[in-house]
A = this chain, B = another copy of it.
Amino acid sequence: MPEESLLRQEIREQPHSLMRLLAATTAFSDARELLRAHNTRAIRLVGHGSSDNAACYGVYAFALLGGLPAVRDSISLPVYYRSESRLEHSAVVALSQSGRTPDVVAYVERARAQRAPTIALTNDPSSPLAEVADVTVPLLAGHERAIAATKTYTSELAALAILAAHLGGRASEVTDAISRLVETMAAHLRDAEIPRLEKLASVLAHAGRMFVVGRGLEYATARELALKLTETCRVATTALTSTDLAHGPIAAVDSQFPVLAIASLDDALPAVLSALDRARRAGATIVLFGNAAGLVEGVAGTAPVPSVPLPVLSPIMSIVPGQLFADSLARARGLNPDQPFGLTKVTLAP
């Protein structure tokens, strides 16, 4: 295992890949013009894995920045069940870092056959997904060598926010805010949170299962953190909204079943804090991520991030310590974070 994993190197590259994305204004303008020309009234998001987690964020980004309803659409309905029912005046935003996920490509092909406008967000602008979509927004994250996606995920989040802002007439406000966020992220990465995360990893090294809780905007972060921990650390993780934790799964919590949560300063924070109160009463070990992580008393550990210029952008920052934590926890568990068991970079399974 190298001293600095590929995974950690790519986590550190995120400010650079985000800066490149900010400079790619033509693709976003093209996407906006396509959607306007089709009188788009709703967005259908599709993706798997980390890209589906980014799509969870997209639901919020399009509503809060673009004023447009957005949904994570069923891929199975058109692809396996040949269903023709679809949202009227809707456009497709398909996410895939490789651009080669077969059923996402098939979904876009069917949407085009129905004359819906289609936009691909992919790190490979020569991929099948890019070929089939009307407009491609390249993620410009550079070659991702680690198997666990990190820089392509944050680029997907930023691309969704920028695209939504273009639709909502807030492009310059949001790109300015992301620029400032990126500077803060770079400083945060320089400031070496590693010892804090390694200490957290030693606290949780023997936990084989964890809940990861978020709500609203940060539910995407909870899902992505859970996925990173499952694939790199072989931990059984379940991502839950704070309300769903109370609807059953709280019954499984005890001191051996830690609860990780994303606590950020936004309108859903009270719901997260309420769920954490409940988890604490159940005896859970609690670890907090997010820009409000430092504000909560009586937890086993925190991995706070700096606040961001616009609350709607917080997921782009909040995931970073989670990515670093996955790297640290993998090492603490004797695993190579660059080599998840049985995975390859491009997922071609149906």
Contacts and interface: CB of A to CB of B under 8 A. Distances in A.
Given A59-B74, A87-B69, A243-B48, A81 B216 contact: yes
Copies of this chain assembled into the complex:
2
Nearest to A56: B74
B227 A248 contact: yes
Interface in A10-36: none
Contact of A247 (B49, B247, B249, B341): B49
Interface stretch (A185-193, A231-239, A317-325): A231-239
A230 B208 contact: no
A299 interface: no
A225 to B, nearest CB: 12
A307 B284 CA distance: 42
A216 B76 contact: yes
B236 A230 contact: no
A3 interface: no
B274 A350 contact: yes
Contact of A271 (B41, B248, B350): B350
Contact of A252 (B50, B83, B230): B230
Nearest to A148: B248
Contacts of A254: 234, 341
A278 interface: yes
Interface string A72-101: 011111001111111111000000000001
A251 interface: yes
A251 B234 contact: yes
A79 to B, nearest CB: 9
Interface string A182-216: 00000000000000000000000000111000011
A52 B248 contact: no
Interface in A270-298: 270-271, 274-275, 278, 281-282
Contacts of A42: 87-88
Interface stretch (A60-68, A112-120, A136-144): A60-68
Contacts of A342: 250-251, 253, 278, 281-282
Contacts of A281: 342
A83 to B, nearest CB: 5
B248 A231 contact: yes
5 smallest beta-carbon distances between A and B, as pairs: A49-B247, A209-B236, A251-B340, A231-B248, A246-B349
